[in-house]
Amino acid sequence: MGVDQKQAVLRLPAEQLYARELEALGAADRDSRPAGWRLSPKAVLTFLTGGKAGGVAITPKYIGNKRLVEMAIATLLTDRALMLIGEPGTAKSWLSENLTAAIHGDSSKVIQGTAGTSEEHIRYSWNYAMLLAQGPSDQAIIKSPIYRAMETGGLARFEEISRCASEVQDALISILSEKTISIPELGRELSAVRGFSIIATANTRDRGVNEMSAALKRRFNMIVLPSPSNVETEVEIVRKRVGEIAASYELKAAPPEEEFVRQVVTIFRELRSGATLDGKEKVKAPSGVISTAEAISLLTGSMALAASFGDGEIREEDLAAGLQGAIVKDEEKDRIAWKEYLENVMKKRGSAWRNLYQACSEMNA
C-alpha cells in the first residue's frame, strides 16, 4: 500500500500499523516457525509484550501479565481454538488483532457476533444471481472469514461470540472438531490447511449474551483478561494508547499531563470498584461500564477538544466534559452517584484536585 493510501485510511490494521516492527522481527527470527506461522512463538511474544529485534524497538502491545500472552500463543500451537474473555475494555479485541497480525499477517478475517449473525456468516453463502443462472459452483460461493482462514491455513477472528444465538454458536463445533466444512450442494468438503485456528472474544459483562454450550466451550482454551491490577499499570496503558491514537488522528494537541491521566484513572478505578483506592470510603458505582478503554477515549476526546477549541493544552473543563459523558449514562441515578463522589471524595482531596472538582461540579449541576 502506498503512502498516500495509508494516510487516507482512518484506522490501520495492526499488521500495517506495526509493519516495520513485524518486518524486523521476521528478519531477526532464528527460531523455527510452526506450519502457517509467519514468526516463531518467541518472536510473536516479543511483538506483543515488547523488546528489541535487530536495531528496532518493539513497543509493547499488551501491557500486563506476560504469562497470559504466552498461554494464548501456546494455545494456537495446539488444535484448540482460543477464547479471550473478560470485562469490556480489557484489550480482548486488541490482543486478538495483534496476535493475528503477528502470526498470520492479516487480521481482517473477522466475524462480528450479533443477534443477527447466522450460520451462513460462519460457513458460506451463495451469490444468488449466479446460483440461479448456473446452479451451485465454486464461483457462486461467498466464503465466510472462517472459510477463507481454513483455505489458507490462517487465523479467523470471532468478535463477541456470546452475542450470537446458541444454534449459531454451535455451528462452530463441527468446524472446530472436524476442521472441515461440508458443502453438500457441491458434493465436497473443505478441509482446513494446517495453521488454521480461531480467536474468539466474549464479554463477561454484557446485556443480551447467550450462554455458550459446554460442547462449544470444550473446543476453546479460555483465557480471562483482567482489568489492570494497579493504578501504575493502568496509567501506563492509558498514556501509551492515548499517545498512539492521537498520533494516528494527527490531533494538534499536547498529550495529557501525567497528573491528568492519573486523576482520570483514579476516578475510574474508584467508581469501578465501589471504594476509594485506600479502601476507607465506599462510593456508588454508576450504571455503565467505566473501563480502561473508556479512559482512553475520554482523554483522546479531551485532546480533540483542546486542539479544536482551546490552545492545544487539555484543561480541567475538557476533562470534566469527558467525565460527565463517560459516567452519567443513565440520567437520574448516575448524576446523583457522580455528585456524591464529587462531594464526598473529590472535594476533600485538596488543592491538586480543586480545579477538576470545580469544573466537574459545574458540569454536573
Ligand X SMILES: Nc1ncnc2c1ncn2[C@@H]1O[C@H](COP(=O)(O)OP(=O)(O)O)[C@@H](O)[C@H]1O
Residues near ligand X (CB under 6 A) are 62-64, 86, 88-94, 201, 228, 237, 241, 292-293, 296
| Partner from Mg ion, ligand X, none binding residue 322, C-beta < 5-8 Å depending on class | none
Residue type at position 203: N
* 144 contributes a contact to Mg ion by CB under 5 A: no
CB of 300 to ligand X, least distance (A): 10
| Residue number, 140 or 264, with CB nearest to ligand X | 264
| Residue number, 40 or 93, with CB nearest to Mg ion | 93
| Partner from ligand X, Mg ion, none binding residue 41, C-beta < 5-8 Å depending on class | none
CB of 92 to ligand X, least distance (A): 3
In terms of C-beta density within 10 A (0-12 exposed, 13-18 middle, 19 or more buried), how is residue 3 classed? exposed
DSSP class per residue in 61-73: SS-S-HHHHHHHH
Integer-rounded Cα Rg, in Å, for the chain is: 23
What is the rounded CA–CA span in Å between residue 301 and residue 121?
Answer: 34
Of 49, 93, 98, 169, the residue at the interface with Mg ion (CB under 5 A) is 93
| Partner from ligand X, Mg ion, none binding residue 168, C-beta < 5-8 Å depending on class | none
| Residue number, 116 or 274, with CB nearest to Mg ion | 116
What is the rounded CA–CA span in Å between residue 275 and residue 10?
Answer: 38
CB of 88 to ligand X, least distance (A): 4
Candidate ranges 93-101, 108-116, 117-125, 208-216; the one touching Mg ion (CB under 5 A): 93-101
Whether 264 and 298 have beta carbons less than 8 Å apart is answered as yes
| Partner from Mg ion, ligand X, none binding residue 195, C-beta < 5-8 Å depending on class | none
| Residue number, 98 or 364, with CB nearest to ligand X | 98
| Partner from Mg ion, ligand X, none binding residue 63, C-beta < 5-8 Å depending on class | ligand X
CB of 47 to ligand X, least distance (A): 13
CB of 17 to ligand X, least distance (A): 12
Whether 225 and 91 have beta carbons less than 8 Å apart is answered as yes
Work out the number of other CB atoms within 10 angstroms of the CB of residue 16. Answer: 14
CB of 44 to ligand X, least distance (A): 16
CB of 83 to ligand X, least distance (A): 12
| Residue number, 44 or 345, with CB nearest to ligand X | 44
| Residue number, 75 or 201, with CB nearest to Mg ion | 201
* Contacts of Mg ion in 32-61 (CB under 5 A): none
The C-alpha torsion from 237 through 238 and 240 to 246, rounded to 10°, is 150
Size of the site for Mg ion (CB under 5 A): 2
| Partner from Mg ion, ligand X, none binding residue 81, C-beta < 5-8 Å depending on class | none
CB of 201 to Mg ion, least distance (A): 5
Close Cβ partners of 6 (under 8 Å, ≥ 6 residues apart)? 12, 16
Pure H helices in 202-230: 214-218
The C-alpha torsion from 336 through 337 and 342 to 344, rounded to 10°, is 110
Biggest distance spanned by C-alpha atoms of the chain:
76
What is the rounded CA–CA span in Å between residue 190 and residue 301?
Answer: 46
Helix, strand or coil for residue 96?
A: helix
| Residue number, 154 or 228, with CB nearest to ligand X | 228
CB of 296 to ligand X, least distance (A): 5
Whether 124 and 148 have beta carbons less than 8 Å apart is answered as no
Residue type at position 171: A
What is the rounded CA–CA span in Å between residue 111 and residue 118?
Answer: 11
Q: Which residues bind Mg ion (CB under 5 A)?
A: 92-93
